[in-house]
Chain A
């Protein structure tokens, strides 16, 4: 058993209102650069719908993910290593810009610069690719809220499949009864097929937290990862010629902050935390024959962080004590494995995705309410879940490789939680038969309710910091000047080119800790944490921190020196 830690996310789809705040803040943070105008590391899709890029789930066309070969071993769906190399000169199945959309801006300048005239000036759309006038025909969320579904609903690969299997029995009714939002980021898979597709070996999984990243220096732009990822969450920066992807906001995660998408989610539907898993068992789990067993296989490699044997093995692998502690408090582990309500997206791709979803009960509830039923009565809800085959089949295609029983099981749990909690809220006796009917006890159901309904910030995001003493050493001190051709030997302050030369201090680490320090301490902040240097951006004007001015007489006691410095500061302020 080789225990590894993995940062994971759970999204509660019942809470998603499709506001795209996560997408917009993510774009502002990561992809508002030339070359990635069309890229959304986080996007929100309306389902049913084609998704972004269009029809990405149609793996017969896009060849993403893994499949089992004749000998029952895992192989990339796009082909083995030799075949991939022969396809190097022109990727046989790479999405083009038109499969995403052509990014555009508006000619806003005309609004200001246009000469006086009879006509009101118009900001025309301009392509960000060619710079020419363009006609907007598609975007990352063109079919938002079922827009255009009467014409294009059949293009959703899952609608296609469900329809084929139900022999067109329900034609249009289906889209009218049922809609939900699906926010998507990179799945940070345990068995990533993008990584396996990369000819250069530039994509890697971090040992410490399992975040999958692209080494921008080693990527050579062969573009095989775009094909390899079945979720189409690796993008090509057409200006730099390199692949880019969701980073799980690793600079934030390292200092214990949630990702931008989680932090800004207005519905508070995202949960972040650790999984412990057995890295040696991943390949076997991804190779089970029946795709419907993949969900269970994935659950089986997740280890119980409270099991003493697992804890011992984790320590042996060098996982720190605070990380084991965080894994025990992990909300994602609780939702995925303890309560069994979070499901992986498309387990049939065999990539072992680590972003999980609690399927939405609301389409069922809404429908019942519209029909005048009591949508929180257990029996009504249970009956509806069983009767509404189409939404359940659709969800099953998304989350359980078509196994409707699993999805029904989760929906029944959510339904049971509703009725159970309604009973309690209305002051009645807790009806213990309700949790029992879905195989839970009342206490567990209440805990699940707390986590899903009222968990606070610190309960939703349980993120152990990357070992700061280590990070400090690695990123700031051990660092930065030792690269070839850098100013070289010696600390920053003694650089031959002055204090500001050399590599800038990583923003996240310095400013985050300094800010926290300043906000929580009563005295002058920042003196020792900044290694004797003073960052004026962090200076709160509260006295003169040591190091603000150079010591004139190194032998003098520092206190006197500080007094001098204050006097000197006010003096020079008056003079200027």
Chain B
């Protein structure tokens, strides 16, 4: 069981994630978008979305720091374990609560604003469930570590070595199996999230436009390019399905 969960599943997830991204990039560029709903509603979005996204960036940075950097390195840099955990808890909690608060605002908006709710697909709904679960369980691991002292201390000895071992193709299943339950759940939900990632609107994260900082302002392109782009599904007619089906 442990081998399947921590030795096989991560690689399955990785294959689906990478394969899914490549597939979507090659065959569904037209569907690769943020699917923004700001046109419908702007007021709540302008609060919720930055809080959520910036919180999420901080959360990602925290994960990178916690998972990639071995205990020995921080110790060598003269950072005591207590100081490390105080920092991790403080920053992690702020980032996590921000992310959760942000997505709560966004979900409230999505449910309460008519047009936004109507533009929400089943795919989106599934994605939101997994995303919120990942955030909630992640926050739980952080908060739980405050109350049970051993809890927080352990992930650098269990989860992190396992995570790093995945990259050298020698998964340290035993280390991960020794981690507390909260981490197991959070990791599993996280893997589900990454598995569905390429097939949801979350893909937009993989085309974060950092190259904007470097590209020239004016883009010239010859008519020749793009002429060989294959036909694709394209647009649908006015008189949306949703209205018509509802009536019948």
Taking beta carbons and an 8 Å cutoff, which residues of A are in contact with B? 32-35, 37, 81-82, 84-85, 88-92, 94, 96-97, 105, 109, 126, 128-132, 191-192, 195-196, 198-201, 203-209, 215-223, 236-242, 254, 282, 466, 470-471, 474-475, 478-480, 482-486, 503-504
Contact = CB atoms under 8 A, between A and B. Distances in A.
B212 A84 contact: yes
A571 B236 CA distance: 42
Given A33-B238, A81-B212, A207-B220, 7 more contacts: A33-B237, A97-B115, A129-B115, A131-B118, A131-B246, A195-B219, A207-B223
B87 interface: no
A239 B121 CA distance: 11
Given A466-B223, A484-B26, A503-B231, A85 B39 contact: no
B46 A201 contact: no
A527 B227 CA distance: 25
Contacts, number: 171
B38 interface: yes
A74 to B, nearest CB: 8
B46 A128 contact: no
A373 to B, nearest CB: 49
Nearest to A33: B235
Interface string B184-219: 000000000000000000001001011111010111
Given A128-B240, A223-B36, A474 B230 contact: no
A221 B204 contact: yes
A35 B38 contact: no
Contact of A486 (B49, B230, B247): B230
Contacts of B54: 89
A391 B221 CA distance: 41
B19 interface: no
A469 B197 CA distance: 44
Given A96-B40, A130-B118, A483 B230 contact: yes
A158 to B, nearest CB: 26
B39 A483 contact: no
A478 B218 CA distance: 28
B38 A220 contact: no
A191 B220 CA distance: 11
B219 A204 contact: yes
Contact of A220 (B33, B114, B231): B33
B238 A130 contact: no
B246 to A, nearest CB: 7
A474 B118 contact: no
B38 A94 contact: yes
Contact of B40 (A129, A204, A207, A220): A129
Contacts of B231: 503-504
B29 A217 contact: yes
Nearest to A32: B238
A217 B229 contact: yes
B72 interface: no
A192 to B, nearest CB: 7
Interface in B27-68: 27, 29-30, 32-42, 45-46, 49-50, 52-54
11 contacts: A34-B240, A130-B114, A131-B246, A205-B218, A218-B29, A220-B204, A223-B36, A238-B39, A238-B119, A480-B230, A483-B229
Nearest to A236: B39
A479 B228 contact: yes
Interface string B59-91: 000000000000000000000000000000000
B120 to A, nearest CB: 12
A201 B219 contact: yes
B228 A200 contact: no
A198 B211 CA distance: 11
A530 B69 CA distance: 65
Q: Which 10 A-B pairs have the closest CB atoms?
A: A199-B209, A217-B29, A241-B33, A196-B217, A221-B33, A241-B35, A204-B221, A131-B243, A89-B53, A474-B227
Nearest to A75: B217
A198 B35 CA distance: 16
B222 A34 contact: no
A479 B53 CA distance: 41
Contacts of A200: 207, 209, 212
Nearest to B206: A220
A369 B6 CA distance: 89
B223 A206 contact: yes
A90 B49 contact: yes
A20 B110 CA distance: 37
Nearest to A235: B39
A207 B35 contact: no
A217 B225 CA distance: 13
A207 B221 contact: yes
B213 A82 contact: yes
A195 B77 CA distance: 46
A223 B39 CA distance: 9
A130 B115 contact: yes
A37 B213 contact: no
Contacts of B226: 215
A91 B228 contact: no
Interface in B161-197: none
A125 to B, nearest CB: 13
A106 to B, nearest CB: 12
Contacts of A205: 218-221
B115 A207 contact: no
Contacts of A480: 228, 230
B39 A239 contact: no
A240 B30 contact: yes
Contact of B236 (A34, A82, A89, A219): A34
B239 A105 contact: yes
A201 B211 contact: yes
Contacts of A82: 213
Contacts of B115: 97, 129-130
A277 to B, nearest CB: 13
A207 B50 contact: no
Nearest to A196: B217
B36 A207 contact: no
Contacts of A204: 219-221
Task: Please indicate which of the listed interface residues B34, B37, B54, B222 has the most CB atoms of chain A within 10 Å of its own CB.
Answer: B34
B207 A220 contact: yes
Nearest to B244: A131
Nearest to B53: A89
Nearest to A479: B228
Contact of A90 (B45, B217, B221, B240): B45
A91 B38 contact: yes
A451 to B, nearest CB: 29
A485 B229 CA distance: 12
A496 to B, nearest CB: 16
Nearest to A105: B239
Nearest to A96: B42
Contacts of A37: 238
Contacts of A109: 247
B7 to A, nearest CB: 34
A495 to B, nearest CB: 14
B89 to A, nearest CB: 26
B223 A90 contact: no
B238 A220 contact: no
